[in-house]
Amino acid sequence: MATTTRIIRATDNRTREDRELLPCIFYALISLSLTDLKKSISYVNVKISALIRQRNGIDMSRKIQFNAPITIVFALASLAALFASEFTGGRSNMLLFSVYRSSLNDPLTYVRAFTHVLGHAGFEHYFSNFMMILLLGPIAEEKYGSTRLLAMMTITALVTGTLNMLLFPRVMLLGASGVAFMLIILCSFANLQGEGIPITFILVVVIYLGREVLLTITVQDNISRLTHIAGGICGGGIGYFLNRSTFRQE
């Protein structure tokens, strides 16, 4: 009995101690949970901050760059001219954005000698030209600079417009195909090393300009092959001259 009594008392004491420990254990668990919660919140904040920084970094790398101003402005100006033509029923093209033989006393005759490259007969005509110009224009602009590219486009427009007025007095010419062919030939000089003529230039001339010469002889249509050929010759001559001058300076 005594033994049993001692055991019961000991058990009662142990139970009382356990009861006293329960608040401590509960408090410890709460503290541990709060600590884990704080750690979890801190971890989530770090992850969110990292994702935000990463996202901002991606956004910065994908920022739109105005990389080729002359090419882009040329494309937008030509598109505006096309919309103007659609809105006016082609009268704006006749007035400003095409070239044909007219009186030398008319100031617009000289304006049209340059601005005819902005005009297009329709959206298909526009897209066929500017798919090539938007592809090659930035390459040429990066290599030669915006000012020189603008000068090349201006020279090409003047040459093709003047040839059309002299050789085809009853033909109205419009479109940027001369500029497109100028860029095709010009970009064949992009990897020129030394004063020699690159083989790529010869191949491009044979393929593109040779094809245009052949089509001029064999096909009768509304496409001005002479403009393509003249534009290509302008691109070849200007490209060779600029690259030769660069190597002489070096």
Q: Are residues 120 and 233 in the same domain?
A: yes
Whether pLDDT at 189 is above 90:
no
Whether 150 and 73 map to the same domain: the answer is yes
The answer on 220 and 101 residing in a single domain is yes
Same domain, 89 and 27: no
243 and 128 part of one domain = yes
pLDDT tier, 181 (very low <50, low <70, confident <90, very high otherwise): very high
State the Cα–Cα distance between residues 146 and 138, nearest whole angstrom. Answer: 9
What is the end-to-end Cα distance of the chain in Å, rounded? 115
> Which pLDDT score is estimated for 107?
92
pTM over cut 0.75:
no
Q: What is the pLDDT of residue 208?
A: 82
So what's the pLDDT on residue 170? 87
What φ, ψ does residue 99 adopt, rounded to 5°? -125, 140
Q: Say how many C-beta atoms besides its own lie within 10 A of residue 212's C-beta.
A: 22
CATH of the domain at 109: 1.20.1540.10
User: What pLDDT was estimated at residue 176?
Assistant: 94
Of 12, 37, 63, which one is at a domain's C-terminal end?
Answer: 63
Q: Are residues 150 and 233 in the same domain?
A: yes
Number of independent structural domains in the chain: 2
The average pLDDT across 82-86 equals 95
Nearest residue to 118 (alpha-carbon basis) of 179, 46, 67:
179
Helix locations, 105-171, DSSP H: 107-115, 123-144, 146-167
The predicted structure's pLDDT at residue 172: 92
Same domain for 159 and 58: no
pLDDT digit string, tens, across residues 191-247: 666 666 778 778 888 888 888 888 877 777 667 788 889 999 999 888 878 876 654
Q: Which domain holds residue 37?
A: 1-63
pLDDT in the model for residue 160 = 94
Same domain, 111 and 190: yes
pLDDT (tens digit, 9 = 90+) per residue, 13-59?
Answer: 444 444 554 454 444 444 545 455 455 545 545 555 665 666 565 54
Do 184 and 164 sit in the same domain of this protein?
yes
Domain boundary among 20, 38, 63: 63
**Quick one: average pLDDT of 159-177?**
92
For the CA atoms of 226, 231, 232, 237, what is the dihedral angle to 10 degrees?
Answer: 130
Residue 217 confidence (pLDDT):
79
Q: Tens digits of per-residue pLDDT, 148-157? A: 999 999 999 9
Chain mean position to CA 166 = 37
Final residue before a domain boundary, out of 33, 63, 93: 63
Please indicate, yes or no, whether residues 222 and 132 belong to a single structural domain of this protein.
yes
Instruction: Tell me, yes or no, whether 194 and 245 share the same domain.
Output: yes
pLDDT in tens, 86-128: 999 999 999 999 999 998 899 999 999 999 999 999 999 999 9
Q: Give strand pairing partners of 173.
A: 99
Q: Are residues 104 and 140 in the same domain?
A: yes
Res 36: pLDDT = 52
Task: Identify the pLDDT of residue 141.
Answer: 92
